[in-house]
Structure 1
Amino acid sequence: MDTPLKFINNQIVEYSMQVTYNPLENEGTIVYNLFLIPVIEREYAIQLLKRVTSAGITVGDMVRFVEPGETLEGYRIPEGMLGICTLCSITLDGILLRRGIVTNPIGGGVIEVESNLPRRFTHMILYEATTFDPLQVMASQDLTSVNRVMKEGNGNILGNVRECHMEAETLLAEVLDECVDSHFSGILEVGMPNASILGVSVSPQYLGIVALGGTNPFAAMKEDGYPVTTLAIKGLMDCRLMDPISHF
């Protein structure tokens, strides 16, 4: 029997229902991305992650390193490669769902930044129209300039957008305030009801929420000429298996 195609929006909904992460307590299950780099580039990756985290161009400061030959949820890290697990922004949809806020995932793409302010999406792939993670696709097309944004405040970074009903606006603000001092961050912008956000239209009586993509650090690594294999939205993980990048 043929297996039907599963579009990314369906995958996001399935994962978000399994997220149990509490940002105030830093406990529970998160969605993670997995990246593979040559193990000899470990120190470079650590320093890059610290820079991107300090610049605020990442979903959060939590990371897990998986050594060559180790197995992660049935996936074996190839010899000579280092696995790096980071928070995926889809975790946000799960955090909101646990608080009674249902989100509709719209899509992911490239955000133009000028003077450290997000201006607009310049490229976008809708989640309902793809079986690949849009940010993984965008990073592979050399459309980012994350390093330039960190240095000059201008360039292109990766982000995604979802919408929620405007009646949840007050509760949404409370939840996002809780995230400010937590290990989960990366909320780039919240729109007004019935208004587009960074050039992306939302449904009537809804408002948009833009989050940074967890792929940004590794887009920066790719810009520096380092080989990176990206396995976005890889799975679910207990956040206790991760540590702040500042601990390394």
Structure 2
Amino acid sequence: MTDPNVERKLVEIMRIINESDKPVGARLIADELHNRGYAIGERAVRYHLRILDERGFTKKHGYIGRTITERGKKELNDALISDRFGFVITKIEELMYRANYNLETGKGNVIVNITNIDKNDYDNATDIIRYAMEHGATISPRVGIIEEDTDLDIYVPDGKVALATVCSITFDGLLLNNGVPVVPIYGGLMQMEDYSPTGFLDLISYSGTSIDPIKIFLRRKATSILEAIDTGNGKMLANVRQIPASAAQRATEIMEMAKKEDITGHITVGDPGEDVLYAPIERGKIGIPVMVGINSVAAVEEAGINVDTHPVSAVMEYSKMKKL
């Protein structure tokens, strides 16, 4: 049986083909998948199309592309109904499982956000990202630079350079892999005063939404990252996870170990069953808010540079990521 992540991509590819009134090729499918938040390249699309052909869900028309079959339409109507709800948390859980970075060996994958930057804007954009990272706006100063001809299964549009920034959900992967049960619960907009977080102004639950909460705040242009860095007062993005109260000490030890590997950004560890910076927490649990890795990218947009960002997008070998 194919894993859920592959199945979800298969369904999305069928949706794209079904929405067209003519055969669709792998390149166009890859472009549309990118628009829908899937970091997947043309080569990977061809792999998925072969699976659909073998199942009888799509039909190949030479070099001009595929159409969906009647069997494929029925499958599309029936398959993964639950995928329309709670998609983000499902994707996050899969990436948490795949994030296997080992704090002792310094090897393994971390979760990354992917941001596509126009080549003409790249130097200015990376200057701003470096500035934000140097001032602690993100969880790690390391990035991965992905060119158009990369061997990685990450789609990079023509004329763009993709920048991978460490996603704060990496913390959740570290906790999970070290025996601490963890659930990401909110993405939110954090008020900064005198260079310190004072509380969440707005929160969106990860559960039951089909769009990443952090991306919603990016679209709203709700941040003032550069202002927060320069004056101490502004709005940054952060998210909250909760763990059993009994695991608080172990979680703190893991996060202290992570600092030595340039993975930081956790704001505080809450008290059992108590709100943390105005974020509600369940009884018997504690909340841990963390600054998100995408704050540096939000700063780029604040400076008037257009970028295309996909939070919680993929996993990448952390040892291959370097400081700008």
Under a length normalisation based on structure 2, what TM-score does the superposition of the two structures give? 0.72
Deviation per CA, 1:142-188: give whole Å up to 9, x if none.
Answer: 11000001100100000100100010011111111112222211112
Matched residue, 1:79: 158
Report the RMSD for the aligned CA atoms in angstroms.
1.4
* d(CA) in 2 for partners of 1:208, 1:13: 18
Report the Cα offset of residue 25 of structure 1.
3.9
* d(CA) in 1 for partners of 2:103, 2:207: 28
Matched residue, 2:126: 46
Matched residue, 1:59: 139
Matched residue, 2:98: 18
Give yes or no for contact 2:143–2:322 (8 Å, CA) kept in 1.
yes
Structure 1, unpaired ranges of 5+: none
Residue correspondence of structure 1 range 94-243 to structure 2 within 5 A: 94-243=173-322
* d(CA) in 1 for partners of 2:268, 2:249: 15
* d(CA) in 2 for partners of 1:30, 1:76: 18
Where 1:209 maps in the other structure, the secondary structure is strand
Where 2:89 maps in the other structure, the secondary structure is helix
My pick for the range that moved more, 227-236 or 9-18, is 9-18
Pairing partner for 1:32 from 105, 109, 112? 112
* d(CA) in 2 for partners of 1:101, 1:181: 20
* d(CA) in 1 for partners of 2:250, 2:319: 27
Pairing partner for 1:8 from 71, 82, 88? 88
AA matched with 1:11: K
The percentage of aligned residue pairs carrying the same residue is: 27
- Point out the structure with the larger strand share: 1
Tell which has more relative contact order, 1 or 2 (C-alpha 8 A, sep 6+).
1
* d(CA) in 2 for partners of 1:152, 1:224: 16
Give yes or no for contact 1:23–1:184 (8 Å, CA) kept in 2.
no
Deviation per CA, 1:37-82: give whole Å up to 9, x if none.
Answer: 1112222122212211111110201111112354641x43112111
* d(CA) in 1 for partners of 2:235, 2:292: 12
